[in-house]
Amino acid sequence: MDNDLNVTSFITFAGHVEVEKYRYLYFMIMLTVYILIICSNSTIVYLIWNHQNLHEPMYIFIAALLINSVLFSTVNYPKLLIDFLSERQIISYSACLFQVFAYYSLTASEFLLLAAMSYDRYVSICKPLQYQTIMTKTNVNVLLVAAWLVPACQVAVSVILSAKKKLCAFTLNGIMCNSTFQTLHCVRSTVLNVYGLVVLVNVVISPTIFVLFTYTRIFIIVYRSCREVRRKAAQTCLPHLIVLINFSSLTVYDVLLLRMGTEFPKIVSFIMTLQLLMYHPLFNPIIYGLKMKEIYKPLKSLFCKMP
């Protein structure tokens, strides 16, 4: 009976700032950003798919990362755009659970894809003679499938456990369903908190440590190499590190600070949530499209051909 009540319950978002006054401004800004995200990420993916010289593991992982950004945005932006134009910002509990599942599984996938990219760079720079043997097409496909499947399975367990919890509150202090949705439960679950911590370690903290470890090894080796090797390593590794640092900082805010119940002014929470939704889907194609020479050349050629 409680499960049936939860499914038919509606959650109200209370995190919007003066949405009645600025609804059309919010809508136009976010619609523009969403279109930019779709176009910019899709363009880089198209270039990688269309140019044979980019059919290498590093660029395949970049394409997967950008596809992940498009999926992440598509999960969140349409609902946000509808809310800006609606008199009431509400969502069914079942839809809220789906948003939580998609949001966190795709967020975790980003960390695992960054880890796969760092491993590819590590093998390429530190074990160049074994690169073709290690980074085979089969191994690349396994890493890609694991990057999406492992987080989805682990987050799904948390969502299924949450769906069985009884609700005693129906107002969420945010503009989307994130880790704070557990505050709606009548009783906070120790099992959910512990399992959430395990998932956080598995798909966020461990990949981050792995990336930092591999790039430390890379920089130690290239430091002893010639200037050309150092330049090439910087061109391919620094973009990944920049993306990781920025994304990790925003994820820490979302997963840890909000989960700990830290109180922030409403405007601060609103801005930080928008940054989570906007920053890396817009940032990734800029970093990989403009900072990586092999992608920038066909990108420049594409725009030069346009009338």
pLDDT given for residue 73 in this prediction: 93
Q: Say how far apart CA 285 and CA 291 lie, in whole Å.
A: 9
Contact 118, 211 (CB under 8 A): yes
Predicted confidence at residue 304, as pLDDT, reads: 66
Averaged pLDDT, 86-95? 88
What is the domain extent for residue 132?
2-305
Output the CA–CA distances (angstroms, integers) from residue 134 to 36, 73, 121, in the order listed: 36, 33, 12
3-class SS shares of the chain: helix, strand, coil, % to 5: 80, 5, 15
Residues 6+ apart with CB under 8 A from 141: none
Residue with tokens 């795709």: 106
pLDDT of residue 1: 41
Closest Cα partner for 233 from 244, 219, 243, 245? 219
Amino acid identity, position 276:
L
Least confident range of 52-56, 205-209, 301-305: 301-305
**Half-sphere exposure (Cβ direction) of 154: Cα atoms closer than 13 Å:** 23
The C-alpha atoms of residue 96 and residue 77 are separated, in whole angstroms, by 14
Span 51-71, mean pLDDT?
90
Identity of the amino acid at 301: S
Q: Per residue in 125-143, pLDDT tens?
A: 888 889 899 999 999 999 9
What does the alpha-carbon distance between residue 37 and residue 31 come to, in Å, rounded to a whole number?
10
Using CA atoms, how far apart are residues 80 and 273, in angstroms rounded to an integer? 11
Structural domain count, the chain: 1
Cα separation, 268 vs 264, whole angstroms: 6
Task: State the pTM of this model.
Answer: 0.87
CB 298 within 8 A of CB 49: no
Give the integer Cα–Cα distance in Å for 17 and 269: 10
Say if residue 307's pLDDT is above 70: no
Tell me the DSSP string of 244-290.
Answer: HHHHHHHHHIIIIITTTT----HHHHHHHHHHHHHHHHHHHHHHHHH
β-strands 171-172, 90-92 pairing? unpaired
| Mean local confidence (pLDDT), 109-136 | 89
Q: Which long-range contacts (CB under 8 A, 24 or more apart) does 184-193 make?
A: 184/11, 189/161, 189/165, 191/161, 192/158, 192/161, 192/162, 192/165
Q: Does residue 68 surpass a pLDDT of 90?
A: yes
pLDDT over 70 (residue 53):
yes
- Judged against a pLDDT cut of 60, whether residue 2 lies above it is answered with no
pLDDT tens string 233-243: 666 677 777 77
More confident position, 232 or 128: 128
Query: Domain with 178 in it: what CATH number?
Result: 1.20.1070.10
